[in-house]
Structure 1
Amino acid sequence: MTDRPTFVYVTFIQATPEQVWHALTDADVTAEYWAEHCNISDWQVGSAWEHLRTDGSGIADLVGTVLEAVPPKRLVITRTGPNDERPAGPGRVTFDIEPHGDIVRLTVTHENLSDDAEYVLVSAGWPSVLANLKTFLETGRVLPQGPWEMYAEMRAARMAFNDPK
């Protein structure tokens, strides 16, 4: 048993498991809903993956390894910054895709978070990305504003409110 935080998020998407799998693993599709990033890999067990900026800089803000890939049911990856020193090892993200009639239950479990601060970050990040993914799959368009912008605005307002000046 670990004292390290774990984040779990469940969403329901009107799509097939194959469509959800494709949206999680196709670089061009991830670029549509993942805010200026795409996910690059061949998605084979043991392969590397990168969360690459789409600005042409070639910078990967997150990297990891594919631990498990069972299309279209389950994808497990490690996740860390490219230069992070994490004594307990990288985070681990599991995507479980379960069909139910005309919908899919997508469960994202992010384990081995380094601390409560990382938990707060992923608690804002995953719901934003998954809301955009859901909207994209159901409508063919992403949300009109990036949900992560709301978090940044709330954080800035909170910092201004707590500023003793």
Structure 2
Amino acid sequence: MNEYGVVLESGAVRFERLLPGPLERVWAYLAESDKRGAWFASGEAEPRVGGRISLLFKHSQITDETPPERYREMNDNGWPSNGTITRYEPPHAIGFTWGGEGEPESEVVFELAPEGEKVRLTLTHRKLANKAEMANVSGGWHLHLGLLEDKLAGDAPRGFWSRHEAVEAEYARRYADLPDWGTAEG
């Protein structure tokens, strides 16, 4: 299985991972704030379509590596993001809108399916504004999903910030030949 995300269409990327099960355990790492906060972002989610989700990205909780300057706030104070639950089908799927203040909303959907003793996680992120945002978001998901794999496997967490620049640059390279869409940055 390719660990890199694949482009579905302009502004949409999909990732797949085969994770240690069972299904309910993987679901807990998506739905429960403390478990989600260990690999991605903590925060409460109202368990229903139309409910609110409040994420707090605090990278000092997921890695002891020092972040680059542009991400220091996420490390020290945390960075909040609020959205709306768009899909809620425990323990198989959760989706939500995502956007910072003044940013257009995108949509993230996690889908889980059992495969023997493993669980296939499919993450789709749509409505990304341009290629630069898609490369940035893809790099983030790539690294966060690696941390989730490590948590579920009981392994030491792999590097996050030490790999960030190279992973984001690889996505920018992979997306360079895509047609432009969105803003002038695309």
Q: Which of 135, 147, 152 is residue 165 of structure 2 equivalent to?
A: 152
Alpha-carbon distance change, 42 to 133 in structure 1, aligned in 2, over 3 angstroms: same
The Cα shift of 1:45 comes to: 1.4
Which runs of 5 or more structure 2 residues have no equivalent in the other structure? 1-8, 59-74, 170-186
Counting matched residue pairs gives 146
Q: Which of 67, 82, 91 is residue 72 of structure 1 equivalent to?
A: 91
1:11-160 matches, within 5 Å, as 11-34=17-40, 37-54=41-58, 57=77, 59-60=79-80, 62-81=81-100, 83-86=101-104, 90-139=105-154, 141-146=155-160, 148-152=161-165
- Counterpart-to-counterpart distance in 2, 1:44 and 1:58: 25
* Equivalent residues of 1:133, 1:142 under 8 A apart: no
Output the TM-score relative to the length of structure 2.
Answer: 0.70
Identity over the aligned pairs, expressed in percent? Answer: 26
Moved more, 98-107 or 51-60: 51-60
Which runs of 5 or more structure 1 residues have no equivalent in the other structure? 157-165
* Equivalent residues of 1:25, 1:39 under 8 A apart: no
The Cα shift of 1:4 comes to: 3.4
Alpha-carbon distance change, 8 to 49 in structure 1, aligned in 2, over 3 angstroms: same
> Residue type of the partner of 1:73?
H
The RMSD of aligned alpha carbons is 2.4
